[in-house]
Structure 1
Amino acid sequence: MRPGANWKLILQTILMALVSPGTRIRFAASKTDGQMDSSPSRALLLAFGHPVVDQYLACKVRAAQIASIARLTPLTILANIVNVVVVTPVLALVLPLPYVLGWVIAVLSLMALTAIKWFLAKRSPVELASRRALSAALRHATVLSALWAVVPIVAFASGNLNGIWIASCITTGMICGGGFALATVPQAAFRWVAILYVATVVALVIDQGVMMWPLLFLLTSYAFVVIGSTTAAGWLFASHFLAEAELEKHSELIALLLNEFEETSSDWIWEANSAGNFRNVSDRFLHASGRSRSELHAMRMVDLAYSLDEDEARDAVAKLEEAIGLQKSFREMIIGLTVNGEERWWSLAARPIYDDHGSFAGYRGVASDITEPRRANALASHLADHDSLTGIGNRSWFLKQAESMLEEQARTGQNTLTLFLIDLDNFKVVNDTSGHPAGDELLRQVADRFTAISEGRTALARFGGDEFAALGRFVSDQAASAFAEELVSVTRKPFRIGRRDFAIGSTVGFTRLRDKGDTVDDLMRKADIALYKAKESGRGRALAFESDMEREVRERRELEADLREAFEYGRLSVEFQPIVDSRSGKVVSSEVLVRWFHPTRGEVTPNTFIPIAEHAGLILPLGNWVLRKACAAAAQCPELESVAVNLSPVQFMDPNLVGHITSVLDETGFPPERLVLEITESVFLRDFGSAPDKLEKLRDLGIKISLDDFGTGYSSLSYLRQYKFDKIKIDKSFVDEIGERSDGLAIISAVIALAHNLGLEVTAEGVERQFQVEALRTLGCDTLQGYYFGKPHANPMKITQVSSEDWEDRSPSTAPQNSLEPQQVPGKKSSAS
């Protein structure tokens, strides 16, 4: 362990050993089970006697520490006796003789006791030692160092120069020699060094000589060197035992695993003699090979490998024969064979064995059946490049193929590469109406049809969902366009799923390689632009990329950026268009319209920027803003019975729609009974599952729901039966036909009659001429909306009067009234606003 890695632990351990030996250290590096995170840390604490390993190992380490000190006991006894002989004359000059004799007897008695213990330990070595044994060693070092601490204090106190030099030499030697002798028990070494160091410091202070500070500096540096060295020595000593313990544990584990290996059925050991024939065949080998014992004894491993007639297996046989012929070791040698008629694959590892005379005696090795992992890897490799549902290529595989084909085009100088992106039309309807299993089956059938026309011509892939892609070489624009039309045509035919037929269709955008500098990303981008343009122009068609499309996309992105800026800086506004009662001429409601005046483009219509807001993810905050502005303004105009706000399909799909509307109503204080939400049929195409629940919650609040642009979609009548509405709005296209086509009036009349029978109010929008007003009144339309009654205004108070028509001068209409509306009191006219 590097010292810098756990320097806090090192310092804490040393300080505790100096200040309070034997005290346990609680350190943050320890685990919950008392073990340290790393072996070096454990070794350090173990050297200082802390319980960081199991009791048995700790006792074993303590015994080894004490034994290491004991091996040096004869030398330490001899050194102490020599030092006594040298020091005694010096002490006799400055101390009374009884004191000197007492000191000598104490040191020699301690040496005699040490010799006796050493002799006893030598006769019966101790293999396990308790913490008390270490404590005894610590006490022994303390007593002996205290006896020798007397020498420097007495010598320096006497002022005898010869005595000072002798005491200095002996004390320095004792610090170093004793520290290193006790290094395997760092706590004892620290106690020894600390007592002698303190005694010498006291002696230097007593002497107060000129050389006191240099000597004190040298003494301190020696003491630090000895402490550091003994720490490292004890650390390495304990590390050695930890390593041995780990090795022993691993050896036991290996032995256990070998025994389990022999007993389990996952792998088996095989042996062969010098001729290559099997010997000592185990039951596991018999089962894995599918052959009898007598058959195996007559066979070689090469014979088994010959049983599978496959190119890869034949190559493996050649490698195996070469290795065995050269008597070489080998590992991960893969061979194929047949077992009871089934293809199996084995992984072999073996080494040659030799007899007592050094002659080749055969092979001993291990074999394992890797058939299932091999199949799993093959399947994983297949799935990595193929779509799991349809079996054709996936996006990752397709892009790699595209890169390869593009590089080939660059080398050959050709520009025939064409990329097709295909989106299925109305696929979500299949999932919503028949469930995802039906959708999955549809995707498989689509992939089969695409594969049939693409095979040998293009690389085909599914990108996910209902998105497909194809890439191939086409010599002309006409050939590429013809293939794209095939892709569209093949999906027009109905798909049979269960007992139902589904007609979906597809839209294709494609681009040919024009610019040699184009990358795969460039081709994908251009094909995607063409696909988007094809969808925008009606779906169910194939469209080639043109440079003008990229310009349109760029302009669209610029317009999107401008829209974000306009919304952020409050450059959008709302206006109110009047909706009048067809009988009284009174303005009873208004529709909220969003207006955007661009500084350079002029007025941008909602038909232009609303789809951009939907695509850019801006429609939700924009819709909430419009609703809040409308409710806040309408709340100040009680003359209006209601205010109508359009909901985008994207808004309607928001799971928090009801919560947002409730929050706006609470914030503005606008009564929910005065709010009308207008939705179109596209809402139900996008959000089939949750629409009924949302509509029910909104109506429970008192909010009215109006079906906008009625008659322009595909399933309006079914929606009237399936969902509860309060109003329907006749689309402007039908109103425009009044006076031009007779069937237009017939349709309007039928719609009004149908709505009234269902108890719904009818509003006609786009009314701009007087004869349209008269016709609609005659047909019984409830409310009218259009420029005939005034242009939209930002202040709802300004639209409550109709200036273009004096309704009081006209006779009441004889058209039938909505059964839901209260009958007017005879003799009274409707008041005009």
Structure 2
Amino acid sequence: MRFSAHWKLVLLTIGRAFLSTGRTVQGELKDRTVTPTGQQDSNQIRAFLLSFGYPVVEEDVARKVRAAQIASIARLTPFTVLANLINAIVIVPVFLGILPSVVVFGWLAAVVGLLTLTTSKWISASRSPIESASRRALDKAVSHATIFSALWAVVPIAAFSTGDANAIWIASCVTTGMICGGGFALATVPQAAIRWVAIIFIASAVSLSIDPSASTWPLLFLLSSYGVVIVCSVASAGWLFASHFLAEAELEHRGELIALLLNEFEEKASDWIWEADSQGTLRNISERFVHASGRTQDELETLRMVDLAYSLDETEARDVVGELEEALELQKTFRDRVIGVDVKGEERWWSLSARPVYDDHGSFAGYRGVASDITETRRANALVSHLAEHDSLTGIGNRSWFLKQAEQLLEEQAKTGRTTLTLFLIDLDNFKVVNDTSGHPAGDELLQQVASRFSAISEGRTVLARFGGDEFAALGQFVSDQAASAFAEELVNVTRKPFRIGRRDFAIGATVGFTRLRDDADTVDDLMRKADIALYKAKESGRGRALAFEADMEREVRERREMEADLREAFEYGKLATEFQPIVDARTGKVVSSEVLVRWYHPTRGEIGPDTFIPIAEHAGLILPLGNWVLKRACAAAAQCPELNSIAVNLSPVQFMDPNLVEQVTAVLAETGFPPERLVLEITESVFLKDFGTASTKLAKLRELGIRIALDDFGTGYSSLSYLRQYKFDKIKIDKSFVDEIGERSDGLAIISAVIALAHNLGLEVTAEGVERKFQVDALRTLGCDTMQGYYFGKPNANPMKITDVATEDWDQPVSEETSPVAGLLKPAG
């Protein structure tokens, strides 16, 4: 123990040893039993206090330590008795000459009586060794030492008080011997030893003070130094003695704990201890081993662990048997060797760890180790691995597994020099319709049926995976482009057959993009990119088909991405512009409205039309901020031009699907101060194909604000008439393709006439787009068209104030039936 760190505790304990017994850990002693220097110091302090009798450990441990302390003193009893008798024999003749005989013989009787009592107790204790001692027994030992030391303390006082030189010399020798001998004899009980030394020391000091002289102080100094040394030695010896027994108690406790853990270990269902002799034959078979192996103890005692490993006829199990045999032959420690065992017809897997055992002569005596049944763990790991590599819904591979397979196949192609690897990417068509109309459970079942059909045609030809959603992929080796194309067509055709889900049949279809390995330097990412480009082109050209990758596709995609980057830059740096095209009243010839057009003047490509860059903006995610910017610019400019009754702004389908559309339009109107009654929003029929569920609600909210809604490109879709019945519009716009046919095809003119009549019957305003010639104007006016727009009335201008003046000469003159382009159409039949 480090006395420098605990000197106060040491001094306090030693001081109290003379004054009181250590029955309780009080005050500062209790506070000091836990120190910040760590567990080791704490154990040392406990041992020191325990040697002085303080109750700092469990009572059973303390009783054993006390018994050992008393037994250690008892072993020296014959020698201490003999030493005391010799000292008494030497002292008595000397003192009879200087002291009354009654006093001398009375002292001798007390010493002999105490020695007799000590001897009798020693004889009694020697018959039955002391194994446990109470606190009271230790107190008796301390009291015994106190009384004995008091008797011997009389000797120096008596000698010095008489002044007899011979008596003083004899008493000094005896006292010195008794201090040293008694202190070390009682060292295992520090409290008794310290009291012994202290009492005789005090008596000696008193004796020296009886006859002070020049030599008294040096003697007193020497006596004090010897006393301090003996006390420190006694305290150290007592601490070492107690530490030894505490360590033994700790080891015993740990041994019991280890035994308990081993017993508990043996009772576990998946772990057991196994042993084998030098020949490898199993021995000391536990019940747990018997239960785990499914065999009797007699059977196991005739087998080796290797024999059990051979019992499972399974490829992986047989492969690891050789490793176990090699480890056993080398007679070295091994860990976590996995073997397969047949247990009553069931496949079980064990993990073995063991170390070699040697006899007293150093010869190999076999193995001792631990076995664990890891069957359930292996099954769980196998399930986790399966789930990590397979799609949980369809059971086929997932994206991660597919890419690993692709890497392996690509490496094989590189080694063989072949270029037959082909990657197919498959997207289902109209899958969203199934989810929206029948719910996700129906969609999940549809995906399972699709995966089943794909698996049937892919078996033995390709590896198949689901990437997520309605995206699938296949990878295989095809000897020619025709073979790869034929397989792609099979993928498309197999999805054309209806899928039965519940009581309904669903027809969905699929689009496939594929690419063959053309370049040895191509990676999996390259194949994925090329197949994705082919898939995109197949979707763009109408879906429901398979398309192989071609080099020109990549060039188009690259150009498209470059244009996308340029468009993003143009928008961010304000390089886009808005222009206003006049819309003229067919009756008066005055400009009453204007359609806002977006213009992009590319620095190298020149002017790029909206038909080109608007789809790019939609694909790049720019259409929402771009559309909001156009609306804001249009409203702000039109607010400064009261001559225009209204301003028309186109909404893309992506804008219309935005759930915040109404709020954004409202915010723009509030910011620009533009009246909602002067705003016309133009939408196309494709809006209703993409946002069927909320279209009517959005239209109603916009019209409640006072905004008018126009159906643009009327007649170019498939269900225009049904839309007119289902949704509320304020106007329709006849597409330019019909206006161009005026004067060229009579059926086109008939369609325009029918549309105008239909619209008027429904209370809708009609606007004709793309008017470029005088005869088109006359025809449309004759048919009753309400408003017109086109280059005939002037080109679009960035300033709406400059489009209000339109040449209206001869506008008020009616068009004669003879000269009108629609004269034939206006004449009644018959």
Give the TM-score normalised by the residue count of structure 1: 0.64
The residue that corresponds to 1:634 in the other structure is: 638
**Separation of aligned partners in 1, 2:809 and 2:732:** 25
Query: Which of 235, 251, 255 matches 1:121?
Result: 235
Report if the CA contact (8 A) 1:272-1:364 is conserved. Answer: yes
Q: In structure 2, what residue type is equivalent to 1:395?
A: R
Query: Which of 684, 692, 695 matches 1:680?
Result: 684
Q: Say if 2:557 is the partner of 1:574.
A: no
**Separation of aligned partners in 1, 2:675 and 2:754:** 33
The residue that corresponds to 2:43 in the other structure is: 60
The residue that corresponds to 2:443 in the other structure is: 439
Provide, for residues 270-304 of structure 1, a one-character-per-residue CA deviation record: whole Å limited to 9, x for no partner.
4567773565433x556545566777677665555
**Separation of aligned partners in 2, 1:646 and 1:262:** 80
Provide, for residues 117-145 of structure 1, a one-character-per-residue CA deviation record: whole Å limited to 9, x for no partner.
4255246439999xxxxxxxxxxxxxxxx
Gaps of 5+ in 2: 10-30, 52-182, 184-213, 818-830
Query: Which of 368, 371, 375 matches 1:371?
Result: 375
Gaps of 5+ in 1: 1-13, 23-47, 69-73, 75-99, 130-242, 814-833
Q: Say if 2:281 is the partner of 1:276.
A: yes
Report if the CA contact (8 A) 2:715-2:734 is conserved. Answer: yes
Query: Which of 473, 476, 483 matches 1:472?
Result: 476
**Separation of aligned partners in 2, 1:803 and 1:250:** 111
The residue that corresponds to 1:458 in the other structure is: 462
Q: Say if 2:452 is the partner of 1:448.
A: yes
Q: 1:740 to 1:438 in 2, by over 3 A?
A: farther
Provide, for residues 36-82 of structure 1, a one-character-per-residue CA deviation record: whole Å limited to 9, x for no partner.
xxxxxxxxxxxx989775998764355689999xxxxx9xxxxxxxx
**Separation of aligned partners in 2, 1:558 and 1:346:** 61
Q: In structure 2, what residue type is equivalent to 1:438?
A: A
The residue that corresponds to 1:768 in the other structure is: 772
**Separation of aligned partners in 1, 2:329 and 2:368:** 15
Alignment of 1:700-719 (within 5 A): 700-716=704-720, 719=723
Cα deviation, residue 796, structure 1: 1.9
Cα deviation, residue 605, structure 1: 0.5
Provide, for residues 212-250 of structure 1, a one-character-per-residue CA deviation record: whole Å limited to 9, x for no partner.
xxxxxxxxxxxxxxxxxxxxxxxxxxxxxxx99999999
Report if the CA contact (8 A) 2:509-2:544 is conserved. Answer: yes
Report if the CA contact (8 A) 1:510-1:543 is conserved. Answer: yes
Query: Which of 603, 612, 624 matches 2:628?
Result: 624
Cα deviation, residue 573, structure 1: 1.1
Query: Which of 614, 635, 638 matches 2:618?
Result: 614
Provide, for residues 540-588 of structure 1, a one-character-per-residue CA deviation record: whole Å limited to 9, x for no partner.
3333333333333333233233323332332221112223444554433
Q: In structure 1, what residue type is equivalent to 2:43?
A: K
The residue that corresponds to 1:498 in the other structure is: 502
Q: In structure 1, what residue type is equivalent to 2:281?
A: G
**Separation of aligned partners in 1, 2:721 and 2:350:** 68
Report if the CA contact (8 A) 1:790-1:803 is conserved. Answer: no
Provide, for residues 576-610 of structure 1, a one-character-per-residue CA deviation record: whole Å limited to 9, x for no partner.
22234445544333221101222332221111111
Provide, for residues 1-37 of structure 1, a one-character-per-residue CA deviation record: whole Å limited to 9, x for no partner.
xxxxxxxxxxxxx9xx9xxx99xxxxxxxxxxxxxxx
Q: 1:639 to 1:263 in 2, by over 3 A?
A: farther
Cα deviation, residue 352, structure 1: 5.1
Partner secondary structure for residue 495 of structure 2: helix
Q: Say if 2:788 is the partner of 1:784.
A: yes
Cα deviation, residue 688, structure 1: 5.2
Partner secondary structure for residue 809 of structure 1: coil
**Separation of aligned partners in 2, 1:721 and 1:246:** 94
Q: Say if 2:594 is the partner of 1:590.
A: yes
The residue that corresponds to 1:402 in the other structure is: 406
**Separation of aligned partners in 2, 1:612 and 1:295:** 79
**Separation of aligned partners in 2, 1:432 and 1:784:** 40
**Separation of aligned partners in 1, 2:334 and 2:628:** 73
**Separation of aligned partners in 1, 2:543 and 2:730:** 33
The residue that corresponds to 1:484 in the other structure is: 488
The residue that corresponds to 2:552 in the other structure is: 548
Partner secondary structure for residue 463 of structure 1: strand
Q: 1:718 to 1:374 in 2, by over 3 A?
A: farther
**Separation of aligned partners in 2, 1:570 and 1:268:** 78
Provide, for residues 349-398 of structure 1, a one-character-per-residue CA deviation record: whole Å limited to 9, x for no partner.
33455677878776543332322321232233334443333333333333
Report if the CA contact (8 A) 1:271-1:281 is conserved. Answer: no
Report if the CA contact (8 A) 1:63-1:128 is conserved. Answer: no
Q: In structure 1, what residue type is equivalent to 2:422?
A: T
Q: 1:116 to 1:705 in 2, by over 3 A?
A: farther
The structure having more radius of gyration, on CA atoms, is 2
Give the TM-score normalised by the residue count of structure 2: 0.64
Provide, for residues 288-322 of structure 1, a one-character-per-residue CA deviation record: whole Å limited to 9, x for no partner.
45566777677665555454332223334455456
Report if the CA contact (8 A) 2:598-2:610 is conserved. Answer: yes
Q: 1:293 to 1:247 in 2, by over 3 A?
A: closer
**Separation of aligned partners in 1, 2:249 and 2:566:** 73
Q: 1:572 to 1:259 in 2, by over 3 A?
A: same
Provide, for residues 696-729 of structure 1, a one-character-per-residue CA deviation record: whole Å limited to 9, x for no partner.
5544444333333334344555555665544443
Q: 1:344 to 1:410 in 2, by over 3 A?
A: closer
Report if the CA contact (8 A) 2:33-2:42 is conserved. Answer: no
Partner secondary structure for residue 492 of structure 1: coil
Provide, for residues 402-433 of structure 1, a one-character-per-residue CA deviation record: whole Å limited to 9, x for no partner.
34444444444433333333333333333333
Query: Which of 670, 686, 695 matches 1:666?
Result: 670
The residue that corresponds to 1:308 in the other structure is: 312
**Separation of aligned partners in 2, 1:245 and 1:510:** 78
Q: 1:434 to 1:800 in 2, by over 3 A?
A: farther
Residues 605-614 or 692-701, more deviating:
692-701
Q: 1:404 to 1:638 in 2, by over 3 A?
A: same
Provide, for residues 747-783 of structure 1, a one-character-per-residue CA deviation record: whole Å limited to 9, x for no partner.
5556556656666544443333455555555665544
**Separation of aligned partners in 1, 2:252 and 2:734:** 90
The residue that corresponds to 1:238 in the other structure is: none
Partner secondary structure for residue 803 of structure 1: coil
Query: Which of 514, 517, 521 matches 1:517?
Result: 521
Partner secondary structure for residue 239 of structure 2: coil
Q: 1:307 to 1:109 in 2, by over 3 A?
A: same
Q: In structure 1, what residue type is equivalent to 2:313?
A: D
Report if the CA contact (8 A) 2:285-2:300 is conserved. Answer: no
Q: In structure 1, what residue type is equivalent to 2:235?
A: A
The residue that corresponds to 2:561 in the other structure is: 557
Report if the CA contact (8 A) 2:426-2:513 is conserved. Answer: yes
Q: Say if 2:605 is the partner of 1:601.
A: yes
Q: 1:124 to 1:666 in 2, by over 3 A?
A: same
The residue that corresponds to 1:151 in the other structure is: none
Q: 1:703 to 1:58 in 2, by over 3 A?
A: farther
The residue that corresponds to 2:66 in the other structure is: none
The residue that corresponds to 1:422 in the other structure is: 426
Report if the CA contact (8 A) 2:285-2:297 is conserved. Answer: no
The residue that corresponds to 1:530 in the other structure is: 534
**Separation of aligned partners in 1, 2:392 and 2:250:** 48
